[in-house]
Structure 1
């Protein structure tokens, strides 16, 4: 923050500060400058800062200042500032014009709602402890006061919990190590140690021994017919099993061909060479990742394959489970939609487009429950990113120091046919498949009881993740 504000005021001409004597002008200039530094600083924290790392730059700040000047000129004969107008312009046009993610837009709107109000004109206003409001006529005075700001910012200034620093440093170290690994020589050396081919052969043989058998399509068709082939969730199961079948076939073919290529029986093509290098580095081969899901390492990916397959096999051959591992679906959005269809069909007169999603956090912490819900589904395997869960009060609370992720209890997701407003003490929490919070990974929002206001958790960047690896 100190460097960002210094850079902003160093590039600011003195004439800009002397533009008008209107009382709100100087505080507004500083508020805009503070917002400009905050939105830039949050980018280094990754998805918990911004879902998408937007390139906010000097032109956004300058256009905001010009609009502020024009706005105050137009308000000379009118007492006060139109704060609603300013908040809208900054959050939806000047800075918001770059924002493409709905939850990032929500974050920007929340910042503006805090820092562009009548209260910010008060001389005692502070953005955070040690970060006061400044109002001077000379640029040098600003630079002197900014130089007194802390050299190392508390993440609270940016709306984040201190655990965000751990996430930032972990991601940075991971990127550095991945870069080092990518430039290592790929060919076997003469050091006398075990060759790359021998290591990969051993790994491939072990994976082949654990790889599940392919599904028998005739058996699956017969089982689904017994369970109700036209049931929405059974249709979803058939689609998921088809995709898992393709993944199992792809893995089996790749592993067998890789063994033959290492033995010299077939030619080592580009895909097999990439798979050999990836397996040696404990990474997921690109050809597998393209047709399945992302994972931090090959071990995590292969374990997930086995667990996903187990869930589908149990569901198909032993009947519908009482709870579902949501992380194990290729298309969790389709799972939610199938559940809504099932509930809508169970109630005469309910139209699917009039059915709304609802949820309730249970107190079950194990995936094993004696029975499923009367309507809807129990899901587990979700993790909170950015905060913790109070088991006694059943609500969101601040993160435990050095604990990055917190496992959520089982959640009951169901559908209702009402338009009643939701309670105010809940936070609309987005759910993502992976830590990368992109539209491709977004599943659905859930409504979670919380301590403090929803705006507090918006600034913290809270989300539910299906996979934290």
Structure 2
């Protein structure tokens, strides 16, 4: 690529997640004997960039403009300066390198005049480790004479590749896809080296310090989600201990430390012997995670294809887009539930007790559901009129038409409701949610609740805590000392015939699915997921409130004892595991230690579609 370029042709690197070409460009400049001048673009950086550009054009240096999507206004000036300069006024060794994220406003003329390339991180453990160690010099490998140095260096490289590889599995791998890159490995390697230089020969490696620096600072510094931080700390706890130096230590079957490796070439030969295809279990995940990865990849590809399809009506035979949406709108209007009558709802709540926490919550849910139903009815009615030509097709109606034709949820409805994979799933969920709320108002409090059917499930659980606290005021309970506890019953939804016992209180909830794990109904414990079964329905869960102050007198806590551990399993509204979708955590019993399920990425989802 360098050979193809010249002083008038910039080279643009389109950044991909987890891959930063800066180090490679600087190393190439050093090999060619050219001074490399990097500058990160942003507000006010144009002045410094002009100065470095002028200096580089004169002495043949390389100008490296990083993050150019933050300084797009400077690019037109840069292109004009580079292309307008006469060959006599520019040193023949001068080159311009740019790194940028994909941006809609990036100048087209600049792209057409430049060489475009991308630098994606390699796929697979073998390729990732090889790329990491190709950047390690023999001097760096021999920088310490201590026997702990080389095993720890390889373990850090293995961790580095693992945290990058887990990204491809979506929420199973990381709740948020972090941009781990080569700089994280370099700084971790430097820390391990400094730590060993200060090592007390009698005390050995300070593992707590090493784990903290890797899990909380070097890699953990990028992590913003608490559960992702727990996962990262679990990796450091499992792979960084005194057993790391034992002969039988391995990260996973077939993935061991190099034996006697004296040169970088020896380490690369060890890496060459690794399997070509990695099982997801290498990264701590279940083998089913590979199905999730392939499904996500296919959905992303198909989504892109659908988005670039022409939106105009075709002139060929068959039903037009407008006629298809017109028919669909009519069918949806027929099935749409009737509006809630405000005075009827108020009268029913009055009978049930308007100031009870659960009934206050119910009123809020009904109000939000009414807003969704009104919006859907209004949009569908207006859309039919707009297609007939009776009213003007507004931007929102155009969006609704495009989305409905592609089986996606219109943006206006999404703002008021919940995300869903397709319009069909969304509308079915609307009918189900309305059925639960309508039944609650019409026939009184149900024996069990569909947690997925609430706009604010956290508010539902808080109302239950308030209800239990009020019932136990005589025992000295206060809301700030009350916490949630749970038991997973052996009943499925159809087996529930009565509410929870009065002495314990709480609620029965159903509709939760295990992702990344299975469930043994007989022993009521977590188990490995069955092959090719991605989501396992959890039986009805009894969630109730207990007081810290009266913990000894309260109903027993779930699990514990007899070789059974507890895994704090996060519950999410949707498959996207973000803070916005997090509800609470359930304590699930398990024979395996909790770390096993943390690495598996096990979680409960209210909706798996």
TM-score range relative to shorter protein: over 0.9
What is residue 522 of structure 2 aligned with on the other side?
392
| CA deviation profile, 1:399-437 (whole Å, cap 9, x unmatched) | 100000000000000010136787361110000000000
Query: Does residue 340 in structure 1 map to residue 465 in structure 2?
Result: yes
Segment of structure 1 superposing worse, 267-276 or 359-368: 359-368
Work out the CA distance in 2 between the residues paired with 1:258 and 1:13.
65
- The secondary structure found in structure 1 opposite 2:426 is helix
Further displaced range: 275-284 or 432-441: 275-284
Cα deviation per residue 1:131-151 (whole Å; 9 max; x = unaligned)? 111252210100111011001
How far has the Cα of 1:288 moved from its partner? 0.5
What is the TM-score when the length of structure 1 is the normalising length?
Answer: 0.98
2:479 is the counterpart of 1:355: no
Assess if the C-alpha contact under 8 Å between 2:571 and 2:606 holds in 1.
Answer: yes
Instruction: Report the counterpart of residue 507 of structure 2 in structure 1.
Output: 377
**Between Structure 1 and Structure 2, whose CA radius of gyration is higher?**
2
**TM alignment of 1:68-467, pairs within 5 A:** 68-135=192-259, 136-348=261-473, 349-367=476-494, 369-373=496-500, 374=502, 375-418=505-548, 423=560, 425-467=565-607
In the alignment, what sits opposite 1:58?
A: 182
* Structure 1 SS opposite 2:497: coil
Of structures 1 and 2, the one with the larger relative CO (CA 8 A, separation 6+) is 1
Judge conservation of contact 2:518–2:528 (CA < 8 Å) in 1. yes
Structure 2: distance between partners of 1:90 and 1:175:
32
C-alpha deviation, 1:79, in angstroms: 3.3
1:23 deviation in Å? 1.4
SS of residue matched to 1:36 = helix
Q: In 1, distance between residues paired with 2:410 and 2:375? A: 11
Instruction: Tell me, in whole angstroms, the C-alpha distance in 1 between the residues paired with 2:224 and 2:399.
Output: 35
- How far off is 1:77 after superposition? 4.4
Secondary structure of 2:604's counterpart equals strand
Does the 8 A contact of 2:518 with 2:526 survive in 1? yes
Q: Deviations over 1:7-63 (max 9, x none)?
A: 000001111111111111111101100000000000000000000001111111111
Find the aligned partners of 1:281 and 1:18 in 2 and give their Cα distance.
59
Normalising by the residue count of structure 2, what TM-score does the alignment of the two structures yield? 0.76
Task: State the aligned residue count.
Answer: 469
Checking the alignment, whether the CA contact within 8 Å between 2:490 and 2:522 is kept in structure 1 is no
Q: Deviations over 1:381-411 (max 9, x none)?
A: 0000011111111111001000000000000
Shift of 1:192: 1.6
Decide whether the 8 Å contact of 1:32 with 1:61 is kept in 2. yes
Structure 1: tracts of 5 or more residues without a match: none
Q: Structure 2: where are the runs of 5+ without partners?
A: 1-124
8 Å contact 1:428–1:448 — kept in the other structure? Answer: yes
Shift of the alpha carbon at 1:124? Answer: 2.4
**Aligned equivalents of 1:195 and 1:65: distance in 2?**
61
Answer yes or no: is the 8 Å Cα contact 1:386–1:404 preserved in 2.
yes
Distance (whole Å) between structure 2 residues aligned to residue 303 and residue 335 of structure 1:
22
